Structure formats: structure tokens, C-alpha cells
Amino acid sequence: MFKKTLTSVLAVFVILGGSYFYFSSQQADQVYIEQVIDGDTVKTAAGDSIRLLGIDTPEINWENNSFEFYAEEARNFTTEKLLDKNVLLEFDQEKEDHYGRILAYIYLDGDNFNQRLLEEGYASLMIVNPNDKYKEQFKSAVEMAREERKGIWSQVLQAEKSYPVISYQKAEEFIGQQLVVEGRIVDTAATESINYLNFSKNYQQTLSLVIFNRDLNKFDYQPAEFLKGKEIKVFGKIELYEGSPQIVVDDPYDILIID
């Protein structure tokens, strides 16, 4: 009887940076990682898929063997650190996603591995409510990696080596092309569904950047507020929308802040 009671209230203590973090038996599981799918998805020896919470690494399309920028590096890092290791899983409000994958924060040797991926520039933020336990810590980790241009945050710098770099004023000459555009954001607007970043007050005739609000959970800042007045470079495809050039920004690392 005593043994059963003790088991039911068993707690796991994880040493993290000299502090002790407490997980109840309902919050944590120990598993063995047997396969790495990509930077943010792994499989256990029991065959369960685990999707790391709060983060998003670049995608790998295994059907056509194509990799987004820094996807291979992210997968290699996760493989090096987690493959054939026993790890501890911590859960948030939801334990599974609609694909049936386990949603978790992974702890290896006391370190929050999800946060480690953010700190090292292998992943960007991906906060999906109600799973926001480490939202502020993760934002701080992203801010540090972004400012130091680590990993995925060097994408624009790498793109400059292979794609044209133009002023926003020449955008109409490059409709349909993938390239790097530079300029200063002088005006912004935020609606219920879209953030607009404009390089000119005359936004109807010059290039604008469009960030859909569904993607704001990837940013560690509010684009319409934070980027106003800043000199930036953006990597993307110029499209024509209602006669005006625009670039739809899907990921925050498509933008490089100059000052």
C-alpha cells in the first residue's frame, strides 16, 4: 500500500542551471529516442512520434529530398544530441496534436532541449496556444540568436551570395523573382488579419511586406511596432497584388534587421 501511494505521488527532479525543477508523475515521462525525423520531430523506441513544443525547425521534404535553409543542420544537431538517448518529456496543456504526435518539451541531462535549439539558431519560435508555458523564456532565446545572426538567422546573408540585392524602389522590375530587397520601413499598419510594413508613405505604388496574423506566433516581437523606422533586408518573392508589388513574409528569419 505504501509503495503504491509513493508511486502515485512520485516526482521527478531535474537539475537545470543549478536550480531544481519539479515535474509531477502526471507531467513527465522518460523515453528512449530511437529515430530523428527532422530537427523538431523524433520517435521513441515504443514507436511514438514526439513533436517538440514551442519551436519550429526548417522543413525537410523526404518525398523529393528537398531541404529548407538550415534544415539539414537542425536535423543533424538533434540527431547528435538525442539519438539513442534516454530523455525526459515535460508536457503542457495539450499532450497530443491532431496528427496523434506527442507534444512535449524534451530534457536531456537537465537542459531544456527545445530552448537549446532556439538559442543555437536551429529553430524559430512557434507558440501555439494553449501550450505557452515557456513563451517568455523562448522569446528571449530567439532574440539572442536573432541578434547574433546564428543559424537560420543568417539566411538573408547567405541569400545575398546567390540572389540579386535590390532597392525597394526597383521592386516592380522584378515581379515573380526571388531576391533580397533592402530599405527602411517608414510606415506600418496592423489589421485583424494582416500586418503591413511599407517602405514608403506612398504604399500603393511601392513595395510592401505582408505578414499574416496567423504567422505572428513565430515572431518574438510585434512586426508593425518593432520594425517601424528600421533599416532591413528581406528575402522573398515579389508578387503583384492589385497593381502593387508585395512580398509575403512567412518566417521571421526572412527578415534581417540592419539597425
Q: Please report the domains of the chain, with CATH numbers, ordered by start residue.
A: 2-153 (2.40.50.90), 160-257 (2.40.50.140)
51 belongs to the catalytic site: yes
Poorest-confidence range of 4-18, 37-51, 154-168, 190-204? Answer: 4-18
Catalytic residue selected from 73, 75, 90, 101: 101
What is the average per-residue pLDDT within 209-234?
97
> What gap in Å lies between CA 186 and CA 165, rounded to an integer?
20
190 and 153 Cβ atoms separated by less than 8 Å: no
101 belongs to the catalytic site: yes
Instruction: Check residue 25 and give its pLDDT.
Output: 43
The better pLDDT of the pair 5, 116 is held by: 116
149-168 per-position pLDDT tens digit:
999 999 999 999 999 999 99
> What gap in Å lies between CA 209 and CA 151, rounded to an integer?
23
Model confidence at 9: pLDDT above 70: no
